[in-house]
Amino acid sequence: MIKQLSRIFILFVLVILYAPILILTVYSFTNATNIGAIRGFSLHNYVTLFTTPELRDMIIGTVVLALVAALLATILGTMGAIGAFYSKRQVSSMIDTLNQVPVVNADVVTGFSICILLVVVLGISKDTFIPLVIGHVTLCAPFVYLSVIPKLKQMDASIYEAALDLGATPQTALRKIVIPQIASGIVSGFSLAVTLSLDDYFIATYTKPATFDTISTYVVNATKGAQTTIKTALWALSAVIFVIVVLFVVVSNLKAENEEAAD
Amino acid sequence: MHALKLTRKSLGIPYALFLLLFVAAPLIVLVYYAFTNGQGQFTVSNLTGFFTDPNTLGTLCYSFAIAVTTTVVCLLLAYPTAYILAKSNFKRKSVVVMLFIMPMWINFSLRITALKEILTLIEGNLAYYPFLNAVIGMTYDFLPFMILPIYNTIVKLDESLIEAAKDLGADERSAFFKITLPLSVPGIVSGIAMVFLPAMTNYVVLDMLYNSTYIMGSLIGSYFAAYNWHGGSMIALILLGIICAFTLATKGMEDEDGSAAGGALL
């Protein structure tokens, strides 16, 4: 009885989480302009999505921004983590504290404060993309730092010492001993950074050039507007992203299972 | 040995500078702007203005109401979900758990668009139920962020404690209330931190659901749109104060992994 009830509850929560996106996916294959209206099968939303230059530029722009910001954040965050890990207590706790600020802070506040400093005080034009990229790196780097630090703590320090004893230079030892041991943290930090940048709305709104849009800012503006073709083309975009995420999860699960089987 | 330490340590310099320039400096500028006026003179009128204007005070209270309601609804849905998942013996449990995390990776604006279409179908005009829609929208957006830290805490619980309680005569119910629930507090606190603060500030969810009501974040948005940096900075500073108070109040109660929201996300 309890088992049945808990299964029903789990199912109920899953329906809450997925019903909207699944219904939208189904409707993206029709020529309906509203959910609820029953119309014929059509692929025109997908045609619009992939042929409208405005939509294409917005998607490419979002992905490029995410990759650039995540790459910079990963380099900075990883170097910061290694540096902080080997620094004196006071220095590393200062970096720790400052690193925690963007993590707990509201994105609205982070975005607004970066906009004030860079755009209002220093007068850097938003059209240079500098405020936007710095904003996204500020959003992402702390999470890279937080993914790398635990790996450094788990690392066996004696291997590094052994490498030095055997004649490796500190640089070589860092490259061949430390980096491989923290690689999994760097990779998960990077993917976290990409996700954060892709999902960001607030930092982009406060720092982006007026003519540039990320998926988030574009979709938010589109829902306020009345352009039906764009609105339904975005349903197709949701469906595409949903499928990409599902594929990603399935593939990574199969990979994990294979690795388990190999062990 | 000395030179070696210098190289390893000096790797941290760029990031330390970056944090000083783009995390610390913006906050200092924020404080400066919050306590000056357009002529650059010191003033506390931004602060007193906030606490004497019934509109802004109303927004603060309304924000709290939305954030508390959203947090409670999320908790009521997330705790049983996390508990059932952690205790279950589903085949392919990791896949089932993944189903609850996956929505985090789909862009929120697209998910809220989907929700908006459904709500419009059900309610007709979204403008009639601003409070309800705000809570539904935020619950839909933030629920996975509440489920994950609670799940992580419960799944790591030492099963033998519960067995011990049962051996000593506790029934299911008292074992749950005296062992499992108290030990899952760190996860609950992490979850609350990940829902409550965004629920006070994430005004774009409200905007997308045709909501004309204001929460604290919306005030920053409207000052920003009006190029009023001083008023906006004061709101940002008040929000920072709330965030600091919240962080200090829950310090030490959070899960080690949970407090690093990074751990909760991947």
Residues of B whose CB is below 8 A from A95: 12, 15-16, 19
Question: Picking from B148-152, B188-192, B261-265, which range would have the lowest pLDDT averaged per residue?
Answer: B261-265
Q: What is the ipTM of this complex?
A: 0.88
CB contact under 8 A, B243 and A115: no
Question: Picking from A70-74, A114-118, B2-6, B159-163, which range would have the lowest pLDDT averaged per residue?
Answer: B2-6
What's the pLDDT tens digit per position in B55-89?
889 999 999 999 999 999 999 999 999 999 988 87
CB A203 within 8 A of CB A135: yes
Contacts with A46 (C-beta within 8 Å, 6 or more apart), sequence order:
A28, A236
B176 contact A CB<8A? no
What average pLDDT does this structure show over B25-48? Answer: 88
pLDDT value of residue B157:
87
How many domains is chain B partitioned into structurally?
1
Domain CATH code at residue B127: 1.10.3720.10
The CATH architecture of the domain made up of A56-225 is Orthogonal Bundle (1.10)
What's the pLDDT tens digit per position in A98-151?
999 999 899 999 999 999 999 999 999 999 999 999 999 999 999 999 999 999
Contacts with B186 (C-beta within 8 Å, 6 or more apart), sequence order:
B153, B253, B254, B255, B258
What average pLDDT does this structure show over A157-181? Answer: 88
What average pLDDT does this structure show over B184-210? Answer: 90
**Chains A, B: CB pairs < 8 Å:** 263
One DSSP character per residue, chain A reads -HHHHHHHHHHHHHHHHHHHHHHHHHHTTB--SSTT----B--HHHHHHHH-HHHHHHHHHHHHHHHHHHHHHHHHHHHHHHHHHHS-HHHHHHHHHHHHHHHHS-HHHHHHHHHIIIIIIS---GGGSHHHHHHHHHHHHHHHHHHHHHHHHHS-HHHHHHHHHTT--HHHHIIIIIHHHHHHHHHHHHHHHHHHHHH--HHHHHHS-TT---HHHHHHHHHHS--HHHHHHHHHHHHHHHHHHHHHHHHHHHHHHHHHHH-
Among the partner residues B12, B117, B243, nearest to A106 by beta-carbon distance? B243
pLDDT value of residue B260:
41
What's the pLDDT tens digit per position in A217-254?
999 988 877 777 888 888 899 999 999 998 988 888 78
Question: Which of B84, B94, B107, B220 is the best substitution to test chain A (most A C-beta atoms within 10 A)?
Answer: B107
As given in the structure block, the two tokens for residue B89 are: 């013996």
Q: DSSP assignment, residue B22? A: I
Among the partner residues A36, A112, A220, nearest to B121 by beta-carbon distance? A36
What average pLDDT does this structure show over B4-10? Answer: 66
Interatomic CA distance for residues A210 and A172, integer angstroms = 46
pLDDT value of residue A183:
93
What's the pLDDT tens digit per position in B212-257?
788 888 889 888 988 889 989 999 999 999 988 888 888 777 655 4
pLDDT value of residue B1:
45
For A169, list phi and psi in degrees, rounded to 5. Answer: -75, 155
What average pLDDT does this structure show over B105-123? Answer: 89
The band of B261, judged by pLDDT with boundaries at 50, 70 and 90, is very low
What is the distance in angstroms between the Cα of A147 and the nearest Cα belonging to chain B? 7
Q: What rounded mean pLDDT belongs to chain A?
A: 90
Structural domain span for residue B258 = 28-157+186-265
Domain residue spans of chain A: 56-225, 226-263
Per the domain annotation, does B3 fall within a domain? no
Per the domain annotation, does B65 fall within a domain? yes
Question: Picking from A42-51, A84-93, A180-189, B207-216, which range would have the lowest pLDDT averaged per residue?
Answer: B207-216
pTM check: above 0.80: yes
